[in-house]
Structure 1
């Protein structure tokens, strides 16, 4: 619990790392889709005409989308290619947030049994000057917060 009079700043969204079993990809510029949703099951009971009882149903997890600047690294491409060839290689991973000094891990989400469902190559523009960005979408079977 926070102490009275002690300032607690929220963490920034740019100082993060994505870890994937056995893949040494450098850093990612974006990671989105950290989300879970539990369906609502509505039940009407006799004698209670003014309200509907609500209970939790199954929980689903959103796909994780990773974006990074194009390099000569092929590890993520090869992982996606294995899926296309029918070799499902599931990996566990983590999304880790660090403090501003980049010395201390402050938040970690662990996801399990992930595999790439979509790869998107960079868009090229003859007059552009932005970084060429690749995108990989991962499906997974659950995410938990560890810190």
Structure 2
């Protein structure tokens, strides 16, 4: 008989549709349609020990490399939040922020969060415009960051 979840201590994976984003600088609980790109990769350092009898290299972990995070949200009247943040970018001068992405449970409590340190916008893509379309207007922002820290709970 399959477990229908009614048993006590039943554990289920978290759904991914309930989340909120704090962009820092007083921009809390910003509603987004989609967040993607929360990844990290360790670069590989290949090294051959001079007295190794094996005719191959050893592989060691190198620097961590973080991918850019992409966020999409609807366009609202008189809301230029993305554009204002991107306008602050000039030659090596940008106000970097800590961006926090929170995954929430059914009661609205934080179950997991991703902190992006020293984040700044690298690219903004505005919506396409079509006279025969009926979709909502979506802005996309791509954010670079220098560190990703994952924590559980609130």
4+ long deviations beyond 3 Å: 45-48, 84-87
* Secondary structure of 2:88 counterpart: helix
Specify every segment of 5 or more residues in structure 2 that has no aligned partner in the other structure, as ranges.
1-7
**Cα separation, partners in 2 of 1:76 and 1:88, compared to 1, 3 Å:** same
User: What's the Cα RMSD here?
Assistant: 2.0
**Cα separation, partners in 2 of 1:42 and 1:17, compared to 1, 3 Å:** same
Partner of 2:95: 89
CA displacement at 1:111 relative to structure 2? 1.0
Give the total of aligned pairs.
142
Which range moves more in the overlay, 26-35 or 40-49? 40-49
Check conservation: 1:25, 1:76, Cα contact below 8 A: no
TM-score scaled to structure 1, two decimals?
0.87
* Secondary structure of 2:122 counterpart: strand
CA displacement at 1:93 relative to structure 2? 1.3
CA displacement at 1:24 relative to structure 2? 4.3
- Residues in 1 aligned to 2:112 and 2:34: alpha-carbon distance in whole angstroms: 16
